[in-house]
Structure 1
Amino acid sequence: MSRRKAREMAVQALFQLDFNSGVTNDEAINSVFSEREDINESTKLYAKSLVEGTYYNLAAIDEYISELSREWKIDRMAGVDRNIARMAIYEMKYSNERLQPGVAINEAVELAKTFGTEDSSRFINGILGSIVKNKELS
């Protein structure tokens, strides 16, 4: 299983869900799966768990982000950045297999470099670093 691929697919699905209110979790993730070949079942299952877990905990996750990014309202953040941060917070705080903060932040920064703008990786690092610094993960 490739967790990095699963995260990439999950971010793409979360982005779709964020901007298309009529799309279900299953429709979004299946749309992403249909664009890729040779994805093993365990990678698909992990991607799906990331999408469902992030989406289920969205209100609490968005509250964390809003509190820590006082200069930016969550709806003003770039969609990719917002969804990468959401998923990383899910993995650090809510997932059954919680990631160590350093691992989650590194993975999120790499996703931001792939999918975001030139400034996305610094932004993601700052938001997630603030959460860890303020010990908001308990």
Structure 2
Amino acid sequence: MQSLYEWDFNHSAAEAAGELVKRNIVDFAADFDDNGFAERLVKGVVKHLEEINSLIIEYAPEWPLDQITTVDRNVLRIGIFELKFSGGEIPPKVAINEAIELAKTFGGESSGKFVNGVLGTIYKKMLEKGEAIITEEKHGQRNEQPPTVSMPE
């Protein structure tokens, strides 16, 4: 999140994203044990940025992309990347719940609800279109239904 925030805030070139991740891991999380995941996530968001941004614009039509806070915009980008482009590495419910928690922790008062509404709606549409990757979760339960979402007011 830190790396995407910094990359977006500074309007950095796409190539800079990987270096930001490496630097931020050294500076802020030297004991982080999954550097590869963090780097794949940031590079993946940057690689698919145009499509991810299009989804944000489509599913948050009252909020022009440049008016969404930098935190919320990048939390949405992470969540959408994990839902659509992670190849099922992250179960959809986990991706959405993690994004909501990031929004609550680093965003504003209504960030969690906003992120929940946008990602929940995107995931429901993915299921309707047959785009959602169905993943096996713990205890043999299938993850076929979208998480319960409450739409922002």
Letter in 1 for 2:19: E
Residue 37, structure 1, aligned to residue 30, structure 2: yes
Aligned-residue offset at 1:134: 2.1
Aligned partners of 2:38, 2:68: CA distance in 1, in Å? 23
User: 1:49 corresponds to which residue?
Assistant: 40
Post-superposition offset of 1:137: 7.3
Q: Percent identity?
A: 40
Higher RCO (C-alpha under 8 Å, 6+ residues apart): 1
Counterparts of residues 81-120 of structure 1 (less than 5 Å)? 81-120=72-111
C-alpha separation in 2, matches of 1:119 and 1:61:
21
How much is the aligned-residue C-alpha RMSD, in angstroms?
1.6
Q: Which moved more, 1:105-114 or 1:30-39?
A: 30-39
TM-score, with length taken from structure 2: 0.76
Corresponding residue of 2:20: 28
Superimposed CA distance per residue, residues 11-63 of structure 1 (whole angstroms, 9 cap, x where no aligned partner): 111111101134601231123112223222xx111000100001100000000
Q: Which of these two proteins has the greater Rg computed from alpha carbons? A: 2
1:134 match: secondary structure? helix
- Structure 2 spans left out of the alignment, 5+ residues: 132-153
Cα distance change of structure 1 residues 134 and 22 upon mapping to structure 2, 3 Å threshold: closer
Report the count of equivalent residues.
Answer: 126
For the 8 Å contact 1:80–1:116, the answer to whether it is kept is yes
Separation (CA, whole Å) in 1 of partners of 2:130 and 2:62: 21
TM-score computed with the length of structure 1 as normaliser = 0.83
